[in-house]
Amino acid sequence: MASIEVNGKSYETDEEGYLVNLGEWNADVANYIAKTESIDMTEQHWEVINFLREYFDEYQIAPAVRVLTKAIGKKLGADKGNSEYLYGLFPYGPGKQACKIAGLPKPTGCV
């Protein structure tokens, strides 16, 4: 196990940097993880992060990219529900990278 330190508090992560205790997630942790992923969080990033957290709360699973793309398209509109838009925000993969920043487990199907 590894850990990150944000504002003087230590958070346990797995070897890939995903939070171990999902309940410890907060905006400061998200911003810290985003920085380590070379992402400057914008309103558009937060929209996806908040969507992912709501999705996880409802289904208890992190969505695979295809499911994520479709679900975002339904909720936020076709201009945001496409791979090009999502990869523009999260270049290392909207599933993996966005879920890591959102404090969620790695989506199933992500290698």
Report the alpha-carbon distance of residue 11 to residue 92 in Å, rounded.
23
Does the annotation mark 110 as catalytic? yes
* The one catalytic residue among 4, 41, 76, 110: 110
User: What is the end-to-end Cα distance of the chain in Å, rounded?
Assistant: 19
Report the alpha-carbon distance of residue 52 to residue 98 in Å, rounded.
8
Q: Could you tell me the CA-to-CA distances from 21 to 11, 29, 69, 73, 103 in Å, in that order?
A: 8, 12, 26, 29, 8
Q: Which residues are catalytic?
A: 110
